[in-house]
Amino acid sequence: MDGVTDYVFREIITGIAKPDVMFTEFTNTEALCSRGYEKTIPRFRYAAKQHPIIAHIWGTEPKNFVTVAKLVKDLGFDGIDINMGCPVKDVMKMGCGSALINNPTLAAAMIAAVKEGAPGLAVSVKTRLGVKTIVTEDWIRFLLDQHLDAITIHGRTAKELSRVPAHWDEIGKAVALRDQYAPDTVMIGNGDILSREQAKNVHAMYGVDGVMIGTGIFQNAWVFEKTPKEHTGSESLNLLLKHAKLYTDTYPGERRFVAIKKYFKIYVRAFPGATTLMKKLMEIKNFSEVEALIRLHLE
Q: Please tell me the predicted confidence (pLDDT) of residue 254.
A: 58
pTM reported for the whole predicted model: 0.94
Sign of the CA dihedral running 138, 154, 20, 202: negative
Q: Which of 86, 121, 150, 158 is catalytic?
A: 86
| CATH classification of the domain holding 100 | 3.20.20.70
113 & 256 share domain: no
Domain boundary among the residues 160, 179, 212 is at: 212
Q: Please tell me the predicted confidence (pLDDT) of residue 299.
A: 84
pLDDT in tens, the chain (299 residues): 788 999 999 999 999 999 999 999 999 999 999 999 999 999 999 999 999 999 999 999 999 999 999 999 999 999 999 999 999 999 999 999 999 999 999 999 999 999 999 999 999 999 999 999 999 999 999 999 999 999 999 999 999 999 999 999 999 999 999 999 999 999 999 999 999 999 999 999 999 999 999 999 999 999 999 998 999 999 999 999 999 999 999 988 656 788 899 999 999 988 889 999 999 999 998 999 999 999 999 88
188 & 237 share domain: no
24 & 127 share domain: yes
Q: Is residue 223 part of a domain?
A: no
Domain boundary among the residues 158, 177, 212 is at: 212
146 & 208 share domain: yes
184 & 39 share domain: yes
Of 16, 17, 41, 47, which is closest to residue 29 (Cα–Cα)? 41
- Note down the domain range covering 239: 233-298
Total of domains in the chain: 2
Domain boundary among the residues 212, 241, 265 is at: 212
Active site residue 96: no
Q: Is residue 92 part of a domain?
A: yes
170 & 257 share domain: no
65 & 207 share domain: yes
CB atoms within 10 A of CB 113: 22
169 & 246 share domain: no
Collect all residues with Cβ–Cβ distance below 8 Å to 183 and sequence separation of at least 6.
none
Determine which helix (DSSP H) or strand (DSSP E) holds 108, and give its type and residue range: helix 104-117
Distance in angstroms (rounded) separating the CA atoms of residues 185 and 204: 18
Q: Is residue 9 part of a domain?
A: no
35 & 140 share domain: yes
158 & 266 share domain: no
